[in-house]
Structures are given as C-alpha cells and as structure tokens.
Structure 1
Amino acid sequence: MLRPMDLALVGTDPGISPNEDGLPGLPVIRSIVGALLTWGLVACVAGLVISVIVWALAHQQGNYQYAQGGKSGVVVSAGGALLIGAANAIVGFFAGLGAGV
C-alpha cells in the first residue's frame, strides 16, 4: 500500500538533463548528422527536378498516369525538404514539450 510520502517521491524530478560532456565523440556525431541533412536536401532537390521533368513531359505527351506520378514526386520532394529543414525545430519543440510534462 502506498503512503502519502511514497506518492510525493513518485512525482519528484530526478534532476537528469541532457549534457554535452557525458560521452566522447559528440562533435563527430553532430558533423555526421549535419552531412546527412545536406545529403537529404540534395536528394530532395534532385527528386523535385526529376519529378517536374516527368510531369511536364508526360502531360505534354498525354500520358496522364506518369503525369500524376510526377505530381506526386513534386509533393513528396517538397514535403521531404520541409521536414528536413524543420528537423531541428521539430525535435526542439517536442523536447521542450516533453520537459514540461
């Protein structure tokens, strides 16, 4: 059976927070993740260019199935670039939201 004193201990903050000195290699990992962000954005640009070309050529030739695929590629590439560009803000937002719980 829980006593009122035990309930007070359950809600106590353990005092753990992110720290940059806990593990070695953090600058290397940040560099790798930054490079992955760059590669992702380059892939989104390439996907967008290819999708626009497919969309335009397919529409011009009357191939509406490929034109629809090109449209989908444009939306997916733009959405990917949006999410990659906002990755730091999204993670920061949810980390702050989680810290407030």
Structure 2
Amino acid sequence: MGGPNFGAVGGADDLRAIVGALLTYGLIFAVLMLIVSATTWALAANGGSWHTAQKAKTGVLVALAGATLTGGALAWANWLLDLGAHL
C-alpha cells in the first residue's frame, strides 16, 4: 500500500500553497501579538496598572500558545500522513 495520492485531486498544489500561506500569516500575527502583549505587560507593570498588566500577561500566554500551535501544525500534519502511510 502506498501513501495518499494527492496528485489525484485537481489543484492540490494550489491548496498546499494556500495552506502554507495561511500558516505563515498565522505565525506572523501570533509573533506580533506576542511583541505587543509583552510590551504592554512591561509598561503596565512599570506604571502600576496591575489590571492591565494581568490582561497583557494573558495576551502573552495566548500568543505563545497560538505560535506554538501554528508552528507545530505542519509538523503534526506531516507526522499523521507518515503514520497513515505505515498502517
């Protein structure tokens, strides 16, 4: 048994390009959110605005989770395809 035949679907190369672009944009936005949230956290903690600092800390954690999930999505999909080829 071979692996999945992605060539049988018309436009498979276009679909791969679109998914790659979406993963790239997702990773860029997650990193930008991380930078903005970390800066806001630092400024709010320095200024004594603890409520804003707590919200920014949550933003940092969400951005890290988003960057991790977005960055690992392609590796996970490739692992699943490889696993499926061996079943």
Q: Shared topology, TM-score over 0.5? A: yes
Q: Which structure would you say has the larger RCO, counting Cα contacts within 8 Å and 6 or more residues apart?
A: 2
Partners of 2:14 and 2:84 in 1: CA distance = 26
Aligned to 1:46: 32
Larger Rg: 1
Aligned residues: 87
Counting only pairs closer than 5 Å after superposition, residues 20-99 of structure 1 correspond to structure 2 as 20-95=6-81
Structure 1 residue runs of 5 or longer lacking an equivalent are: 1-14
TM-score (norm 2): 0.83
TM-score (norm 1): 0.73
Q: Identity over aligned residues, as a percent?
A: 41
Q: Which runs of 4+ in 1 moved over 3 A?
A: 92-101
Give the C-alpha shift of residue 18 in structure 1. Answer: 1.8
Query: Does the C-alpha gap of structure 1 residues 40 and 82 become closer, same or farther in structure 2, counting only changes over 3 Å?
Result: same
Structure with more of its chain in helix, by fraction? 2
* Counterpart code for 2:23: L
| Two-structure CA RMSD over aligned residues (Å) | 2.0
Q: What SS does the aligned partner of 1:58 have?
A: helix
